[in-house]
Amino acid sequence: MNIESLTSYCLAKKGVQESFPFGGDTLVFKVMDKIFALTGLENSPCTVNLKCDPEKAAELRENYEDIQPGYHMNKKHWNTVNIEGSLSDDLIKELIDHSYDLVVSSLPKALKQELNG
């Protein structure tokens, strides 16, 4: 996967917006103003930080070299994923979906209704 594919996939999700709240080189994807993915545009190889269930995060890190504890994030809840490495596009999309779903599930009822309305 590359940065263009990552961006397209994230932006195709319902209620997602992109922004640069941490400066021009960090692209952030939010659903209902809550971050579910962020990537450094200058990173080589390209990586993305994704929210993850803590148990799943630990399992993924053990099984995949291209999945590490979240860089500059709460390492219990975030992974840094090398999207240009050995991981399949399908697995990367699954990890993006998981991050998005975790954030949506934690939204207050009113915001969930707004998202689905």
pLDDT in tens, 73-85: 999 999 999 999 9
- Quick check: 79 and 57 in contact, CB under 8 A? yes
pLDDT tier at 68 (50, 70, 90 boundaries)?
very high
The DSSP code sequence of 36-75 is EEEEETT-SS-EEEEE--HHHHHHHHHH-TTEEEPTTS-T
What is the distance between the alpha carbons of residues 96 and 36, in angstroms, rounded to a whole number?
8
The residues facing 103 across adjacent strands are none
pTM equals 0.95
Domain 3-116 has CATH 3.40.50.1000: no
What does the domain layout of the chain look like in residue ranges? 3-116
